[in-house]
A and B are shown apart, each in its own frame.
Chain A
Amino acid sequence: MADAAPRPRAAALALAVGLVLADSSIVVLALPDIYRDLETSVAGVTWVLVSFNLVMALAAVPAALLARRVGPGRTAAVGLAVFAGAGLACGVAQDLSTLILARCVQGLGGAAAVTAALELLPATVGSERRATEIWAAAGVTGAALGPAAGGILTELVSWQSIFLIQVPVALAAAVPILAVAKHEAATGILQTELRRTGRPHFLANLALAMVSASIAAALFLLVLLLIEGWRLTPIGAALVVTVMPLAAVLGSRIGPLVPSAKARAAAGAIFVSGGLAGLAYLPKAEVALTVPPQVLIGIGLSLVLSALTETALSGRAPQAIHGGWTISARHAGVVIGLLALTPIFTADIAEQRRDAIDAGTAVILDSRVNPLAKIELAQRLGDQLEGEEGKVPVIDPAFEPLPEDPEERAEVVGLREELQDQLDRGATHAFSPSFLLGALLGLLALLPIGLSRRVDL
């Protein structure tokens, strides 16, 4: 056994897990900036998220096997170093291919660090159950805080800073683990006994995958709606989506009051689905209206992710392998959610954009504005729309300068508001089918939760 103090090592392991799992969502708020900077498409930029989650899904179980073969300390330390190095590469990437490749390498390092951490935690905190709780809580916290942290960094510094700041954090988390790695290297003794691997909890992992797809929809779509649809700044959007982690804290307080993991998982899935359905039926393009759905999603994700993770790991050995399965299920769910929703969403937003522009044009054509002013306005608006092909346009510049005649000015301002309303309607409505699909995925998770004979801890 290594001599490193258990408390700093437990904190470092929790930090490593939180950091890596935050990475599956931290980049969400930066996507619009990456999309513009690297001149790609919505479908292309989605792969910045998909690549990381896909590699995490594929590499988690092999990484756990590796941790048991070469030692969890060494695996975690090397994993964090790889994660940090790839983060640096992401931060300096000049094109989408390099960024995606670096994200894949980050996923490899992350998978090694997270699964090895689960193998190290029981010995560090002295209890397998406590280790599972810390590991699950760190993952939920990371996933919930990720988008807000990413949004703040994007706005205050740049999207590159999201990756660059992870380098020192990952290296700092690796320091207390190095003692274990050195001990393993010096003695050849592994931290844990090599036990026969039991079968993974199929239903809990299936439910995790479905719920994760649903939560990915919530985060990804809400951020895109706020930034691309409603034109909020990344920091503004970050503040808005902070409601979710705050609600997740509330959920983490409720969880321990209900011993039944099956009930927590079912309630969590219903909360998430209800929140997503609420986002699908927003009655207006107003930020405040996203708060109640986000509260439900935040409470739900905390309840369902922790309940299902604990269930998938409960009484199963070795922990790292089963932790690998849960990581694999969660990230596969995120990938499925993103890949299923992106084409629907991109097609819908293009169609709704056209409908909104047509509706706005109808407003202008039917208005009582002087025909000459109308033509000029239509031409400026056409130029504006042309300059923002494929995106929800900013229309204000097309209406500047406003006419000096007070009556005509009031008419044009009214037109601008009406046109903006049509664009808001189009942008908001474009997200509805995808939010509804996300809600459906969350509800489908109730099937494996309900079918599971032993979901209770």
Chain B
Amino acid sequence: MNPALRAQLLVGTAIVSAVALVGIYLAAGGSSYEPAQVRDPCQQRPWSNPQGLGELANQFSSSALDGAACQLGVSREELAQALATPEGRERFTERYGIDEEELARAVRAGLLRAIEDAEEAGALSPLIAGPLRSTVQQIPLDQAIDLINNARTIFGGVQGFLGPAEDFLEELLP
């Protein structure tokens, strides 16, 4: 083989190898291999058909976080990380330059949105939603965060409050 042909063959092999490698990796999903994008918290998150208190509480917490995050202009996930621990909460308020009262207002707004979402989805009876709204509007930040972190207590609390009317509660909750 003459030297010129060898030179062309070498350069050609380099081009084909490089293009083939990149093409195969792109075809295998190389351009989309990145973390999933989180949802905009201001957009309504559809409620599925929750089965029992656990799932209902999950969806309620999620809606409440969405509402609070939307109010603060952050992602639901970032707010959830912040609310998980007191230290996280402190770092969060420092980072965004907000005080505890602003955070409390946002968390209460989130809880109100969750009640509304639950009501609209038919997951919460208006009989329970009304009193819950009044309660949520007055509770302090720590309790509001507790409710988001463990929404089950809302429904469990209602259940406890209703006491003997448990059968009635079963009808109200899907």
Tell whether, in the assembled complex, residue A429 and residue B7 are in contact, meaning their CB atoms are under 8 Å apart. Answer: no
B82 — nearest CB in chain A belongs to which residue? A382
Contact between chains at A263 and B11 (CB < 8 Å): yes
The interface bits of chain B over 1-45 (1 if a CB of A lies within 8 angstroms of the residue's CB, else 0) are 001101110110111011101100110111101111111000000
Say which one of A20-28, A77-85, A277-285 lies at the interface with B. Answer: A277-285
B107 within 8 A of A: no
Per a CB cutoff under 8 Å, which of A260, A274, A361 touches B18? A274
The chain A residue sitting closest to B5, CB to CB, is A258
CB-contact partner of B22 in A267, A277, A355, A422, under 8 A: A277
Asked if A425 lies at the interface with its beta carbon under 8 angstroms from chain B, I say: yes
B78 part of interface (Cβ distance < 8 Å): yes
- Give the residues from 140 to 180 in chain A that come closer than 8 angstroms, CB to CB, to chain B: none
Known A282-B30, A357-B81, A368-B58: A270·B11 in contact at CB below 8 Å:
yes
A357 to B81, CA, bound (A): 9
**Chain B contacts of A260 at CB under 8 A?**
3-4, 6-7
B17 touches A274 (CB 8 A): yes
Which A331-366 residues have a C-beta within 8 angstroms of B? 352, 355-359, 361-363, 365-366
Kindly state whether residue A451 has any CB partner on chain B within 8 Å: no
Residue pair B28, A283 in contact (C-beta under 8 Å): yes
Judge whether B10 and A284 touch: CB under 8 Å: no
The answer to whether B21 touches A274 (Cβ under 8 A) is: yes
For B11, give the chain A residue with the smallest CB separation: A267
> Counting CB contacts under 8 A, is B152 at the interface?
yes
* A275 contacts chain B at the CB level, 8 A cutoff: yes
B37 neighbours in A (Cβ, 8 Å)? 355, 359
Q: How far is the CB of A218 from chain B (nearest CB, A)?
A: 14
Residue A375 CB within 8 A of the other chain = yes
User: Interface stretch among A2-10, A124-132, A224-232, A292-300?
Assistant: A292-300
A264 on the B face (CB < 8 A)? yes
The residues of A that contact B29 with a CB separation of less than 8 Å are: 283-284
The chain B residue sitting closest to A385, CB to CB, is B81
Residues of A within 8 Å of B84, CB to CB, are: 375, 378-379, 381-382
Minimum CB–CB distance from B42 to chain A (whole Å) comes to 15
Tell me what chain B mostly uses at the interface: helix, strand, loop, or mixed. Answer: helix
- In the assembled complex, A271 has its CB within 8 A of some CB on chain B: yes
A422 contacts which of B25, B35, B57, B61 (Cβ < 8 Å)? Answer: B35
- How many chain B residues sit at the interface, stated as a range, is 35 or more
In the docked arrangement, what's the CA distance between A53 and B36, Å?
39
By the criterion CB–CB under 8 Å, are B18 and A273 in contact?
yes
Indicate whether A362 sits within 8 Å of B77 (C-beta atoms), given known contacts A352-B35, A379-B85.
Answer: yes
Checking B6, B19, B54, B81 against A370 with a beta-carbon cut-off of 8 angstroms, the contacting residue is B54
Of the residues A361, A362, A368, A425, contact of B55 by C-beta under 8 Å: A368
Among A283, A293, A370, point to the contact of B33 (Cβ < 8 A): A283
Cβ contact within 8 Å between A282 and B25: yes
Return the chain B residue nearest A265 by Cβ. B11
Please tell me if the beta carbons of B36 and A274 are within 8 angstroms of each other in the complex: no
A136 at interface, CB cutoff 8 A: no
What are the residues of chain A within 8 A of B3 when measuring CB–CB? 258-260
- Closest residue to B22 on the A side, CB-wise? A277
A366 and B62 within 8 A (CB): yes
Contacts of B81 in A (CB 8 A): 357, 361, 378, 382, 385
In Å, the complex CA distance between A285 and B25 comes to 12
| B80 within 8 Å of A (CB atoms) | yes
The reply to whether the CB of B150 lies closer than 8 angstroms to some CB of chain A is yes
Q: A258-B10, A278-B22, A371-B57 are contacts. A365–B77 as well, Cβ < 8 Å?
A: yes
Q: A282-B25, A371-B152, A379-B84 are in contact. Are A429 and B14 (CB under 8 A)?
A: no
Q: At the interface, yes or no: A428 with Cβ under 8 Å from chain B?
A: yes
A355 in contact with B65 (CB, 8 Å):
no
Interface string of B63-87 (1 = CB under 8 A from A): 0010000000001111011001101
Residue on B with the closest CB to A378? B84
Q: Does B88 contact A (CB under 8 A)?
A: yes
Contact in complex: B21, A371 (CB < 8 Å): no
Complex CA–CA separation, A257 to B3 (angstroms): 8
Within the assembled complex, what's the spacing in Å between the Cα atoms of A254 and B8? 14
Given contacts A260-B7, A283-B29, contact A371 B54 (CB under 8 A): yes
Q: Does B151 contact A (CB under 8 A)?
A: yes
Query: Is A383 interfacial (CB-CB < 8 Å)?
Result: yes
A71 at the interface (CB under 8 A from B): no
Whether, in the assembled complex, A417 has its beta carbon less than 8 Å from a beta carbon of chain B, the answer is: no
Of residues 367 through 412 on chain A, the ones whose CB sits less than 8 Å from some CB of chain B are 368, 370-372, 374-375, 378-379, 381-383, 385-386
CB distance from A170 to the nearest CB of B (A): 36
> Counting CB contacts under 8 A, is A90 at the interface?
no
- Nearest chain A CB to B44's CB is how many angstroms away? 15
Question: For window 203-229 of chain A, which residues contact chain B by CB distance below 8 Å?
Answer: none
B36 touches A383 (CB 8 A): no
Which residues of A have CB within 8 Å of B30?
Answer: 280-283
Report the separation of the CA atoms of residues A426 and B38 in the bound assembly, to the nearest whole angstrom: 13
Q: Is the CB of A371 within 8 A of B76?
A: no
In chain A, what residue has the closest Cβ to B50?
A368
Q: List 9 A-B contacts (CB under 8 A).
A: A259-B6, A263-B6, A270-B15, A274-B14, A274-B18, A281-B26, A356-B35, A361-B81, A362-B77
Top-5 shortest CB links A-B? A274-B18, A281-B30, A263-B7, A283-B28, A361-B77
